[in-house]
Amino acid sequence: MARKYSPSASKDVEGAMRKRKRGTLKSGGSGKKVTSRKQAIAIGLSEARQKGKKVPAKKKSSGAKKSSGGKKKSSSRKSAKSKK
């Protein structure tokens, strides 16, 4: 079976783990310090993806399912303007 991740992608993850241990790894959005091991791995894989290394695509979360059928509900709210 072929490798899922390239060896250079593994190096990016290792680098992110080292930064986490030193306390210098920051999250992208808020800039807070990362302490979670799983989050550090995710950041390393994300960096490898941005560099174009062989890394599988992100898994889609199963919690955010969209409804596939049915009518779109329209708002029954009337305009706030009063008629003169």
pLDDT score of 78: 61
Which two structure tokens, joined as six digits, stand for 6? 């390239």
pLDDT single digits (tens) 26-75 = 988 888 999 999 999 999 999 999 999 988 888 887 776 565 665 656 55
- pLDDT score for 60: 83
Enumerate residues 6+ apart whose C-beta is below 8 A from 26.
Answer: 32, 33, 34
- Which residues are CB-contacts of 52 (< 8 A; sequence separation ≥ 6)? none
Helix H or strand E encompassing 22 = helix 7-22
- Please answer whether residues 33 and 25 qualify as being in contact, where contact means their C-beta atoms are separated by less than 8 angstroms: yes
Residues 9 and 52: beta-carbon distance below 8 Å: no
Whether the per-residue pLDDT at 3 is higher than 90: the answer is: no
